């Protein structure tokens, strides 16, 4: 039986996973303490730029955070003890959603629509990821197949 192992994901693999997702977690520091909250997002790749667009409620905890943020997106397969994670580190910026059709082009389509009138982007300075591969099973069949 081989041990589980980690693999670094390439930048392009990370972008592929970010393109496919729609809900991740953003980490900010508020009042000298970190906080992590789920958000809807959209990966934007335009004019040679890559950023994450987020639409949220004005004045919420994300807006009160500092300039530096982290964003994480994960995929897990608990039955097989494997998964992947993409980490985006960057700077948070407010956007005038009425400028250059930003709303129509980059809406993150939040699941909660009421009062989601603050538009933010994360401008990445690093996008990294890794994938955990499961260990080879001892048996040819998964033990849960017998239950």
Confidence at residue 29, expressed as pLDDT on a 0 to 100 scale: 94
Q: How far is CA 112 from CA 56, 61, 108, 132, in A?
A: 9, 16, 11, 32
Here the tokens at position 116 are 């989601």
For residue 38, give the H/E element and its range. strand 33-40
Confidence at residue 92, expressed as pLDDT on a 0 to 100 scale: 95
Confidence at residue 66, expressed as pLDDT on a 0 to 100 scale: 87
Confidence at residue 128, expressed as pLDDT on a 0 to 100 scale: 97
Confidence at residue 86, expressed as pLDDT on a 0 to 100 scale: 97
Q: What is the pLDDT along the chain (147 residues), one digit of tens a residue?
A: 578 667 899 999 999 999 999 899 999 999 999 999 999 898 988 888 899 988 888 888 998 888 999 999 999 887 777 789 999 999 999 887 666 665 555 555 555 555 556 788 899 999 999 988 777 766 555 555 655
Range of the domain at 11: 5-146
Confidence at residue 7, expressed as pLDDT on a 0 to 100 scale: 86
Confidence at residue 85, expressed as pLDDT on a 0 to 100 scale: 94
Residues 6+ apart with CB under 8 A from 141: none
Here the tokens at position 144 are 């849960």
Determine the Cα–Cα distance for residues 54 and 119; give it in Å rounded to an integer: 6
Check which CATH number belongs to the domain holding 39 and give it: 2.30.110.10
For residue 19, the number of C-alpha atoms closer than 13 Å in the C-beta half-sphere is: 8
Instruction: Work out how many domains the chain is built from and give that number.
Output: 1
């Amino acid at each position: 039986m081989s041990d589980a192992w980690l693999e670094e994901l390439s930048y392009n693999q990370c972008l592929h996973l970010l393109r496919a997702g729609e809900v991740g977690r953003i980490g900010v520091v508020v009042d000298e303490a970190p906080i992590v909250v789920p958000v809807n997002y959209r990966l934007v790749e335009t004019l040679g730029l890559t950023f994450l667009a987020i639409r949220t409620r004005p004045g919420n905890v994300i807006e009160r955070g500092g300039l530096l943020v982290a964003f994480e997106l994960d995929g897990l397969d608990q039955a097989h003890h494997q998964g992947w994670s993409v980490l985006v580190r960057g700077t948070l910026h407010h956007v005038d959603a009425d400028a250059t059709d930003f709303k129509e082009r980059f809406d993150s389509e939040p699941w909660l629509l009421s009062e989601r009138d603050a538009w933010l982007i994360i401008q990445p300075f690093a996008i990294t990821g890794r994938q955990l591969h499961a260990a080879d099973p001892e048996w040819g069949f998964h033990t849960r197949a017998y239950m």
